[in-house]
Amino acid sequence: MIFNFVLYYFLEQNTKLSIQNNLYHKAVFINNQILSNVPISELLKNKELASFEIAILKEDKVQFKKENTFFKSLIKYVKEDKSFFVFRRDGKLDGLYIFRINEPYKGAILFYERGFDDQISSKLDEIKEILFFLEPILLLLLMFLASKIADKILQSINKITKTANRIYVTDFASEIPQPKYDDEIKDLVDSFNLMIKRLKDGVQILEQFNSDVSHELKTPLTVIRSEIEITLNKNREQSYYEKSLKTIENETNQIQSIVDNLLLLTKYTKENVKQTFQEVCLDAILLSTIEKFHTQLKNREIHLNIKEFEAICVKANPILIQTIFSNLIDNAIKYSQANTEIDIFLYQDTHINFIIKDQGIGMEKEYLDKVQNRFYRIDESRNKKIKGFGLGLSIVKNSIELHNGELQIESENKKGTIVKVVLPK
């Protein structure tokens, strides 16, 4: 219906324009004949003008007219800017064309044509005959194209369905191939493949967590089980029970610490960490963290010096920032001897820089990369009094990377270690 209305409208406009052009050429013809001194009475008898009602005005007065009595009512249109006017009379469309002239006198030539909508109907009938044969062909062509488009859409959807059916917790190898064209289906495929990657990463994190937990909890659980079995083997003195419970308490605390650290490692990912970012002041977090180690520093007789300190605010995760400061300060204290110094720097240039420098036991260069791995600890015989699980630097490295930063470590055996954290501004 919309097509028919649009077709009729443009056909009507085209017909009006065609009639207007036709009348214009006829008016130019009459004007040229008048300029050639052809008698008006003879001129109006021309066969080409037989179907038109014509009037010639001179100074707004009808000088000549052809078989019409209402031209006087049309003289008012001569003063308007338009040249072509349409009227509906007796249910049909009539047209008036005004050709204004200046020679041989100032006036106008009026053409009046009745019922030009018959021309529209005639052309419309011709169009109908064409469409009668053309529409079935267009319909079949449209159905064919629609079928191809539907097949293309369904083909991609079928691939998504088959891939989804092949995905299991133990198998994330499947991925939907990219379609040729950049359209909504490609966006759907990209989203689906991204979802597969996220699921795969999530499962890998869970697998890593399970592996780490099972690996690290074996020792304390074995100690607890052995302690309980020995204690329950026979009746013992109260002091023995107290000692056994103290051992179990220490091992339980170790288990709690391991689980807490592992959960921190797996809680945040590149995809979700930015949602936790907020405006934080690094200087305030650092001062608060240092305050927590006041007693430990005093007991170990270690002097902590703040060498360079700037007020810096940035968007970050406050928990991870505090974890970075806390772990690095704790490591510096643990691996430093009494009556030594720890220097701390916090400043910004093109980046934000946090540096902690100790005079501790240090390490060989071969260990610099390994100590950042989970549960890696340098030979404990180097210092048996130092307790740990090998998670501190791994947590620090992961937290820094989640902020798009970089961890740099320099160390020399028995001379100390310099740890530098570089974060974007």
Letter for the amino acid at 278? Q
User: Does residue 162 sit within a domain?
Assistant: no
Per-residue pLDDT of the chain (425 residues; tens, 9 = 90+): 677 677 767 776 777 777 778 778 877 877 777 777 777 777 767 776 766 788 888 877 877 777 655 677 777 888 888 888 887 777 777 878 888 888 777 888 887 877 766 766 776 677 777 767 777 888 888 899 988 888 777 777 777 777 777 776 566 666 777 766 666 777 777 887 888 787 777 777 667 666 666 655 666 787 788 888 888 888 888 888 888 888 888 778 777 776 776 677 677 777 788 888 999 999 999 999 898 888 888 888 999 999 999 999 999 988 889 888 988 998 899 888 888 999 999 999 999 999 999 988 888 777 776 666 554 444 443 444 444 444 667 778 888 888 999 989 888 888 889 999 999 98
User: Does residue 155 sit within a domain?
Assistant: no
292 and 248 part of one domain = no
Letter for the amino acid at 261? N
Owner of token pair 């324009």: 17
User: Does residue 172 sit within a domain?
Assistant: no
| Alpha-carbon gap, residue 385 to 409, rounded angstroms | 23
User: Does residue 135 sit within a domain?
Assistant: no
Q: Closest Cα partner for 322 from 269, 278, 363?
A: 278
| Alpha-carbon gap, residue 368 to 131, rounded angstroms | 82
Q: Among 267, 293, 316, which residue terminates a domain? A: 267
247 and 281 part of one domain = no
Number of structural domains in the chain: 3
**Domain span including residue 60:** 2-115
* 398: number of Cβ within 10 Å: 21
| Alpha-carbon gap, residue 320 to 395, rounded angstroms | 9
Q: State CA 46 to chain mean position distance.
A: 73
For residue 87, the surrounding DSSP H or E stretch is strand 84-89
104 and 246 part of one domain = no
Per residue in 151-179, is it b (16+ CB within 10 Å) or e — as a string?
eeeeebeebbeebeeebeeeebeeebeeb
17 and 68 part of one domain = yes
| Alpha-carbon gap, residue 7 to 17, rounded angstroms | 15
User: Does residue 150 sit within a domain?
Assistant: no
For residue 83, give both structure tokens.
């040249």
Owner of token pair 């249910």: 91
User: Does residue 149 sit within a domain?
Assistant: no
Per residue in 304-326, is it b (16+ CB within 10 Å) or e — as a string?
beeeeeeebebebbbebbbbbbb
* pTM metric for this prediction: 0.47
